[in-house]
Amino acid sequence: MNGRVRLGNAMVLAILVAGALALARLHASPWWPGDALGWQWRAAWGCLAGYALLCVAVGWRRRAVEADTVAKTTEAAPATQTLVVWASQTGFAHELAGRSVATLQVAGVAAHALPLEQLDAATLQQAARVLLIASTTGEGDPPDHASGFLRRVLPDARTLSGLRYGVLALGDRSYEQFCAFGRELDEWLAHRGAHALFDRVEVDNADPGALRHWQYLLAQLGDGHADADWERPQYQRWKLQARELSNPGCEAPAWRLSLQPSDGDWPQWQAGDIAEIGPCHSPTEVEQWLRDHALEGEAIVQGQTLRQWVARAQWATMAPAAQAAPLDLEAFVATLQPLPHREYSIASTPRERSLELLVRCQRAADGRLGLGSGWLCQYAPLGGGVALRIRANPGFHAPEPALPLILIGNGTGLAGLRSQLCARVEAGARRNWLLFGERHAAHDGHYDTDLQRWRQEGWLSRLDAVYSRDGGALRYVQDALRAAAPTLREWVDAGASIYVCGSLQGMAPAVDAVIEETLGAGRREDLLASGRYRRDVY
């Protein structure tokens, strides 16, 4: 048992004993009214005194147990858990911390929520991963309960180079100091040598798109599984116009998809924006589920077939249909939770009149296709409908055309880089450098026709492509970046921005390490703070 709890137990016993002795002395004193009061009054006074003593004792005990719990979680969490730390003025950040812990646990990540005032410098230095959810109040002020952290921890100068972190900053763009406290925490951690898992996610007035993106990133920290979206996205209906295998002969097939809005009304988006897809189960699995539950898929419920409702629903939340009375389909449909969305970088610009995606077909350990990639690459019928919503991603929008741009990515991350290049060509910007990594040169030539044309026409100043399965000294994109270190310094000195798109778990941290190694920690921090180093990782 912790010393705080032992102390609390001792205090309880001491209070009760002291109270009993005090009552005995009072009873024997000349001030005690004795028989002047009836036995009922004496009993009432005794109960009241006993109750007061019990309240004091329980309070001491509870405070001791709470202190012990905080101490245990603070001591144990760094080695075994992801800390989700919240700073809240109205309670919203606290609520999101609880949701974040639940999302991480669904993805197989042990996590624990903690208010900011209970986080100290020693815990930060020991922790492997911390996620901060920070609200801003007033004119750029931190929440009231954060004052202790600001006083005790922010002045601490110890290095946090072993820490990986993420920040969800809550704010309101109608105020000049938008998300100021979240930004302050992000910059302070970077200055202490900590490494961001992904770029800061900023939320304007509880924007559901930004919150869904945060939830998606949390799932990627584990096995990719996510529970239902915190708020349902309002999808539009798009038509799958074309689907082409981008790398025939490769063991990890990736598909190029082209979509058109079903109503013919083209929405506007910018390079860097994201397509949120509402996936469906495979038709074979849907029919099997309907048979297993003796339900008629063609039954119409609220203007759609039951088959359509079932295809988009999380089956784990669905009640069995077998029962004595006929199933109330209206009530049943009302209980369904939609499948969580999937995010994909848009590879095209609106001027091309096609929304292009590059999607790798994922498989689980048991061989089953991934939920989103299986739907898009295999099951969604050509000419059929796809539920899609475009989410603005201002943190990855293109820099000014007059400035140089370095684009770094791997795998299907090339989609987000291709849209940036296309936008740069449309804007007349020629100083572009692409570093890209894939598996096989013979197979993985995604968008190779476009890249070679832009290179020949002078839109792409330099192209470094590396292939991990082909051997050679440079296998990964971070190897190519390290080999080009003098050029990297030259471009950054000339005002270049660095945009990274691709794998959160492998490529992005390795590229980040090379950037710090080449430019220095201080220069890297300056690039992050000024928005010249941005990442769209997953």
Domains of the chain by residue range: 3-72, 81-220, 236-391, 398-537
Q: Select from 3.40.50.1360, 2.40.30.10, 2.60.120.1600, 2.40.50.320 the CATH code of 236-391.
A: 2.40.30.10
Cβ contact 359:412 at 8 Å: yes
Give, for 274, the enclosing helix (H) or strand (E): strand 274-278
**Alpha-helical regions (H) of 226-370:** 283-292, 306-311, 329-334
Cβ contact 130:162 at 8 Å: no
Cβ contact 269:259 at 8 Å: no
Cβ contact 457:428 at 8 Å: no
Confidence (pLDDT) at 231: 80
Q: Which CATH code for domain 81-220?
A: 3.40.50.360
CA distance 537 to 182: 20
Q: Which CATH code for domain 398-537?
A: 3.40.50.80
Q: What 8-state DSSP symbol labels residue 294?
A: T
DSSP 519-538: H-HHHHHHHHHHTSEEEEE-
pLDDT band of 401, cuts 50, 70, 90? very high
Residue 256's CB is within 10 A of a number of other CB atoms, namely: 19
Each residue's pLDDT tens digit, 68-117: 433 333 344 444 589 999 999 878 899 899 999 999 998 899 999 999 99
Does the pTM exceed 0.85?
Answer: no
Domains 236-391 and 398-537 share a fold: no
CA distance 77 to 472: 42
Cβ contact 181:169 at 8 Å: yes
Give the residues across from 436 on adjacent strands: 409, 465
Each residue's pLDDT tens digit, 445-493: 999 999 999 999 999 999 999 999 888 788 999 999 999 999 999 999 9
Each residue's pLDDT tens digit, 166-187: 999 999 888 889 999 999 999 9
| C-alpha 62 chain-centroid distance | 35
Each residue's pLDDT tens digit, 253-298: 999 999 999 988 899 999 999 999 999 999 999 999 999 888 999 9
CA distance 201 to 183: 10
CA distance 79 to 24: 52
